[in-house]
Amino acid sequence: MSLAAGALGGLLVVGGYTYINGQNDTSSTPATNNTTTVEKGKTTVSNVNVNVESEVTKAVEKVENAVVSVTTLQKSDAQLSEIEKIFGRSSNTENTEGELQESGEGSGVIYRKDNGKAYIVTNNHVVTGADAVSIMLNSGKKVDAKIVGTDAYSDLAVLEISDKDVTTVAEFGNSNNVKVGETVLAIGSPLGSTFANSVSQGIISAKDRMITNQTSDGAIINSKAIQTDAAINPGNSGGALINTAGQVIGINSSKIAQAASGVSAEGMGFAIPSNEVVNIINQLEQGKSVARPMLGIKMVNLNLLSAEDKKNVLKLDDKITNGVVVASVEKDTPAEKAGLKQYDVITQVDGKDIASTAELQSILYAKKIGDKMELTYYRSGKETKTTVNLTEDSSKLQEQQKKEQEQQQTEQSTNTNPFN
């Protein structure tokens, strides 16, 4: 969630206090004792010493200097409204054509230094459309960044800066080992760089939570995320979700503030698991597009179809209620070579039940080109199995991925029925 520049109009100071240290007073006062004393008709503050060191503070200290603010800039003419583009720019923009202006803010995590360069991971949606990117380090110093690579599906991007002023790099933890209920901390710049390196605390609320988002170009993204109740706000995107060992276990990416029904929600933030992050950034660092396997099918959720279509066209028994219907099969793809045909109903992948295209896509994209995938499906009411060899080359894969994402967008927005 990038944050529009200038969203912070001012800071309201609501109160303050002064800490007074008594001279020559080296005694320790328990927190349960009174904290104020009266001396010669004057109220003073006692010198209460509290050991504030904890696993939480140590975790923050370990990683905070690796968390940065990311500011994106766009040329002024790129920010004109559609009306201005059609009928001419307004008078106050005529003299600023081509100038860079702040367009959004987010967060990022420095994770590696190598050969004079430092690499930062952030969200793809933070830097989408940027003509330039500026990084503010925890020290407050600002440096220019280069976009090395982006991936819309995973919503990740890699930036590069000079390592001259970089003092700390973050360590990734194994996200497969996280547990529901485990204490976690979110570090980033909520509401922009004015509140850089803010820390919020919570727990892991759930693992492998299926989240569906839409990219700026309209593609539908389905991914499994870590859910947390640690406060995530606009500007936190791209920041770190860490465990109490100070390891990054996720990259904060989104939150749900309201359900489709209009009901408000609190404490529902989501982070991309670190294991997926590492896999993606290792490819983006090299300037490569992320290679993912494909099936080569257009598909629709079974539960969107009418009872009549399920019975008369698919020949399904009433007990089959969830799955994915193959609407069409592309030529010379893994799906065609595995024998899949139009109107097959996929109900399991590698022995695991699936109920939607999002679940199938998530499992598929977790695999690598060259892997195998076993599909259980129904054809004319009869259950059968096949093994798909995921061996397509990356150039054809990218083209097909775009087609599949466009098809999913259409199906989810219009409930397209393949039998019409």
Catalytic residue selected from 107, 200, 223, 237: 237
Tokens of 370: 């060259």
Backbone angles phi and psi of 45, in degrees to 5:
-105, 130
> Catalytic residue at 332?
no
Catalytic residue selected from 76, 155, 344, 356: 155
**Cβ contacts of 135 within 8 Å, gap of 6 or more:** 68, 69, 70, 71, 108, 120, 142, 143, 144, 145, 159, 161
> Catalytic residue at 155?
yes
Bridge partners, residue 248, by sequence? 172, 242
CA angle 45, 46, 47 (to 5 degrees): 120
Catalytic residue selected from 69, 125, 205, 253: 125
> Catalytic residue at 125?
yes
161: Cα within 13 Å, side-chain hemisphere: 28
Q: Which residues are known to be catalytic?
A: 125, 155, 237
